[in-house]
Every structure is written in structure tokens, then in C-alpha cells.
A and B are shown apart, each in its own frame.
With several copies, the nearest count.
Chain A
Amino acid sequence: MSVFIDQHTRLLVQGITGRDGSFHSRQMIGYGTKVVAGVTPGKGGQLFDGVVPVFDTVADGVRETQANVAVIYVPAAVAASAIYEAADAGLGLIVCITEGIPVLDMTRVLPFLHERGARLVGPNCPGLISPTKSKVGIIPGNICKPGRIGVVSRSGTLTYEIVHQLSTHGLGQSTCIGIGGDPLIGTSFIHCLSAFQADAETDAVVMIGEIGGTDEQQAAEFVAKGMTKPVVGFIAGQTAPPGRRMGHAGAIISGSSGTASEKMAAFARAGISVMKRPADVVPLLKERL
């Protein structure tokens, strides 16, 4: 087992013929992901790299290939539409890599997904990887190793940094999930923690948060009440000034709320081992395992 994706994942790529879509589709195929369909309106009937059938619509692709997961690499202007389309085609897991979707668009997209029971990971996220089983998104496969640590993060390269630490010290991962840096996202820390808690192949979880919002505080409450597996946490942005957006649209301290220190305090109260720096992840995990 692993979380959300595994060797049975049959992936459909929205925007497969685009610049990013084609690059990452090749990476995913190279990693061993079953990329069964691509979608680009007007290119239906073509074969991507001579192998993956391309369809005009997601509905066509799902019908013909029994794809069960979609990943989205289309430009921001049409990314919300792509999410609607994937959910409307009945896909239960939709991973949106695209950055720059207006937050007001997400206020409408999220209830649409909720009504259909579809899970969105992202947007503005690096996606997921279950080492050796499946990679959906852009997390570099070579830094990951199969193992029993679950990783969930709002960030991209910071996750790679921490996963790299894990892998080089022999701590492989069950699944790594990048939930995205936007203020409104489909899958929260709690959804992932809950899945890791239920996953027989996960022994401990690394949670990588950042300034902005209160997701980490809520996640900490969840950990305190609902988790038996050890959790190690990090918060980026201790030195960020209030009121300024630190790259991610969601990484902003509003007034006095959403600061790194309040999040770290919530972690500590919930029994989460708090990393002071990325390099702490391995010693803290080893303490708890």
C-alpha cells in the first residue's frame, strides 16, 4: 500500500503536448508511471512519443483507457477548467501542478470537487511520488527511495531538500505529497496525515509547513487527537516579515496570524517533534522510531 497513488495508478495527463506537460510526461514514463492517456483538444487521435494516445477531451480519454488519476500541466488561464473537466469525467484523484490559478476561481472549483467526492492535490504543487510505484507530478524520482516514511509538504524544493536528507540516511519514503503553496488547496495536511495514519506501509510522517493560514495548527490538533504514528515537523518562514507574500500565494502572515512561531508552538503542544533546520529531520525521526 501507499497513499493516494500506487502501481495501479493509470494516469491521464492534461496538457500532454505542452512544454511542461511533455517534459514531465517523459519523466513520469521514465520513472515507470503508467501514463495511459493524454489530452489536448484538437490533437485527439495522435500518439504522444509514439506511445500514449492523445484525446480531445478527458471524458474520451477516461472512456478509452480507464485512466483513474489526472495530472494537470496546462497554463493557469485554463487550469480551473481542466480541473472541472477531470472531475466531470469521474476521476477520483486530480493533481494540479499549475501555478497561478486565481483564488476566486478556486472558491468555485472546490465545492464542485466536493460534490463529486473527487480529491484534488494542489494546485501549485509538485504532486506525489510513491517511490518505485508511481510518480504523478514533478518531484525528482532520483532523490526518493522506497521506505516507510510519509512526507507531506506545502513546498517544492524544500521538500526535495528534506527527502534528500532522508534518502541519503537510509530513511525511504512510502509516499511524498506536495499539497501546494496556494491559500486554497484541495488536499490539506489533515487529509494526508489521516491517510498516512491508515497506511500500513507508513511508520512515521514528516510534515513541512510554512507561514500563512492555520492549516498547520489544525493539523497539529489532528495529530494530538487522532494519530499514533510519530510526526516530525518543520515550518519555513521564521524570518519572513508580516504582510509580505513570500513567493507562494499562501505564504503570507496576515496581521499577527499565521506566523512560524505560533505554528511551531502548536506543533510542540501536539507532540510533534519540531525541526529547527532541515538537517534535523533525520536525528528527530530516529529518536521517534
Chain B
Amino acid sequence: MNLHEYQARELLRRHGIPVPADAVADTPDQVRAVAQRLGGKVVVKAQVHAGGRGKAGGVKLANTPDEAAAHASRILGMQIKGLTVHKVLVAPAVEIASESYVGIVVDRGSQRPLLMVSAAGGVDIEEVAAATPEQIHRVAVDPRYGLLPHQGLGLGLRLYRNVAQARLAAEIMTKLYAACYAVGASLAEINPLATTPDGQVLALDAKIVIDDNELDRRPEIAALRDATAEAPSEVQAREAGLTFVKLDGTVGCCVNGAGLAMATMDLVKYYGGAPANFLDIGGSSNPQKVVSALRIITADPSVKAILFNIFGGITRGDDVANGIVQATQQFPIKVPLVIRLTGTNEAEAIAILTKAGFSALTDMDEAVKRAVAQANA
């Protein structure tokens, strides 16, 4: 789960990291009031789950409260990478002497939290990694010991020659590391970590991604989810216990298992079609989930055909068949339905489907070919 910048700033602040005061607003008037309260120049920043906000015109400097409100009226409602801006952050414009990068990501290679710093901050760290990898310094932290003081100071000295500033940076790294474990973050970045002309070290922007698996045990973090920042179909799917990702194609896919779901999408493309979504109904076999899945898929006007691909293991074929039948009783399905179903309780499933007027295939390739043909017809 992605957090908004304003949420990430607040979490870092609570963990003792110096972040300038700020406020979030959703109208230009609120922005004007905040800018007045903060005094001086402010920066107005679109709060959306997308990178490249600056380039898209979603980050603006304002010299006066009126200018801040004017910027806000342009930014609020703007689309950035397909996402609508509903909120802006207003923060004091800080005079910056230098910009660095500090980030922690759970690293698959070392199987540890990887602390990364770069004196080339304020820009996309992936670009730095591609262009000048030697500018990124890394420590894979052993979580049994935590970030050790010399590791933080060693990285701090990669950012600043001044040992006092290096110690401030090290302290921020220690707190960022603690924050990761405290909030269940799989990624936490400060970019830029800025120095001011008077020697302060401040976090001016923050990005935190929460591991979805942490949400059950951290209700206070789960409560930070902003459903308005996601596609409505994905919100619906999550509430129904489905894993769903909206895509651009015309073949709606309903599969059990993430790997098989991806392979199904790939096969749709292989046979000349385009998947409309990723959808995993999961291992449990609850007819209601199938009903929800069909409701979400059929709500997408670009879907021209629906493909079921079920390999019954824990998932029972009869449950899926019942779900399909129940769905057709609850709402109209106006596009062709191609059903591939094999494995556990296959015979019962086919009996149920046949009785309801559906036919079912047992071969995956055959089913995908038909669905693509229907969608492209």
C-alpha cells in the first residue's frame, strides 16, 4: 500500500525525523489559509500515488498565499499518470544548500533491509543508479543487530564531509530504519534529504510503501488507505477479497492462482488478444467470490469476452460453476463467457454448467484461443 507524501511525512516526524511543518488541503481557500499560517514562500504539491509530479506540473512554488491558492486551483483536479489529484500538501519553501537521497528497501538479494544513500539527491534514484551507480552507497542491514552506529555514520560521511552533519544524517537513518519496522514498510525513502545554509539536515519529501501483509496487525496504518486514490474496481475487488489489477485490453480474465492468472494473460496476448485485467480468485472456493469477480469484470465497458481459467486444486470446480450460475441470476452478462475448468470436482462442475446452458472446456490453450476470437470478433 502506497502512502501519500503527507502521510509519510507525518510518520517520519513521529519517529523523530526533522520534517518541516506542513498541512494537507483539498480546496484553494484552505491552501491560502495554510500558506498564511506558515508565512513566507510555500510549495504546493499534488498528493497522488505517482512519480514525476514535478514534471507533470503538480509541484509549484508560491511567493504569496494568493499565489499558493492559484497554484492549488490548477493542481487540484489535475490528472497525473491517470490519477486525479484530490489533495495538495502545503509546506514552507526551505532554502537548500544540498540535496541527498536516503532510502531503505527490503532487498531480495541479501534478504535484508538495504539502506541506500546518494549525495545525488532530489532526482529519481533509479536514474542515478542507471547513469552513475558509483554514486549510490549501500549497507545491507542485519536485522538481528539493527542499523549499527558505525554503519549510519559511514554512510553519513558519504553524504557530508562535515562530521556533525554526517552524524545528523546517521541519526535520521537510524530513525528511518526504526520507522520501517514500526510501520511495516517495505520501502521508505527521503528524497531529498536537504541541508540548509545554516547546517540543518531536513527531510523535504518522503515516500513510504507499506507491505500489505502488515496491515492486519497495524490497524492504525491500514486506516491511512485512501480509497479515492485508487481505481474503484480495485477497491471493490479488495473488499471482496480478490486480487485485481485493471489493464487496457478486452479479454476479462478470472483465474485461480496468481501464476496461472499471469500465464493466462500472457497466453491471451500470445493468441493475439489483450487482457482486460489480472484477477485471482484465490485458493478458497467460495461461489460468492466468483459472483463478485464477474460483477467487477462486467462493469468494465472495454471487456468484450470473459475467460475463466480454473485449475481445481483446493479450489473446487463445482463452487466456481455455482458462482457463475448465481452471477447470471443476479445481473446480466452481455459478453461471451468462455470457461476452462479442470481438476477437483470437474465432473460436478461441468454438470452444473451444462444444466445452466454453459459449455466448459478442459484445455487452457483452446479456451484462450476462443476467448480471444470472441473478443476480437
Contact = CB atoms under 8 A, between A and B. Distances in A.
A joins B in a complex: yes
Contacts of B137: none
Contacts of B268: 239
B266 A238 contact: yes
Contact of B313 (A139, A237, A277, A279): A139
A29 interface: no
Contact of B108 (A215, A245, A260): A215
B180 interface: yes
B348 interface: no
B113 to A, nearest CB: 6
B186 A140 contact: no
A262 interface: no
A143 interface: yes
Q: What 6 A-B pairs are tightest by C-beta distance, nearest first? A: A155-B259, A247-B258, A157-B257, A42-B163, A158-B259, A85-B150
Given A140-B344, A183-B108, A88 B148 contact: yes
A240 interface: yes
B245 interface: yes
B313 A140 contact: yes
Contacts of B261: 246-247
B55 interface: no
Interface in B256-281: 256-263, 265-270, 274-275, 278, 280
A226 interface: no
B33 to A, nearest CB: 35
Contacts of A77: 216-217
A249 B212 contact: yes
Contact of B343 (A101, A140, A238, A276): A140
A78 B170 CA distance: 15
Given A84-B149, A246-B278, 13 more contacts: A56-B163, A78-B149, A85-B148, A102-B217, A139-B313, A140-B343, A156-B260, A158-B260, A160-B260, A160-B311, A245-B212, A247-B261, A278-B263
21 contacts: A41-B163, A41-B166, A77-B216, A84-B149, A85-B150, A102-B211, A108-B144, A156-B260, A157-B311, A158-B259, A158-B262, A160-B343, A161-B364, A183-B186, A210-B262, A214-B108, A234-B263, A245-B245, A246-B245, A249-B212, A279-B365
A155 B143 contact: no
A279 B364 contact: yes
Interface stretch (B72-80, B151-159, B196-204, B351-359): B151-159
Nearest to B146: A108
Contacts of B184: 102, 104
Nearest to B153: A41
Contacts of A249: 211-213
Contacts of B213: 76, 100-103, 249
A183 B105 CA distance: 12
Contacts of A244: 245, 278
Contacts of A157: 255-257, 259-260, 311, 313, 315
Interface in A118-176: 126, 138-140, 143, 153-161, 164
Contacts of A25: none
Interface residues of A, number: 71
B300 to A, nearest CB: 16
A251 B266 CA distance: 14
Nearest to A244: B245
Interface in B321-368: 342-344, 364-365
Contacts of A106: 111
B108 A213 contact: yes
B262 A239 contact: yes
A276 B259 contact: no
Interface in B101-157: 106, 108-109, 111-113, 126, 142-145, 148-151, 153-154, 157
A127 to B, nearest CB: 11
Nearest to B141: A107
B145 A237 contact: no
> Which of A56, A138, A139, A210: most chain B Cβ within 10 A?
A56
A192 to B, nearest CB: 16
B341 to A, nearest CB: 12
B167 to A, nearest CB: 8
A208 interface: yes
Nearest to A279: B365
Nearest to A213: B108
Given A104-B180, A140-B343, A279-B365, A81 B260 contact: no
Given A81-B150, A108-B144, A183-B108, A161 B263 contact: yes
A101 B216 CA distance: 11
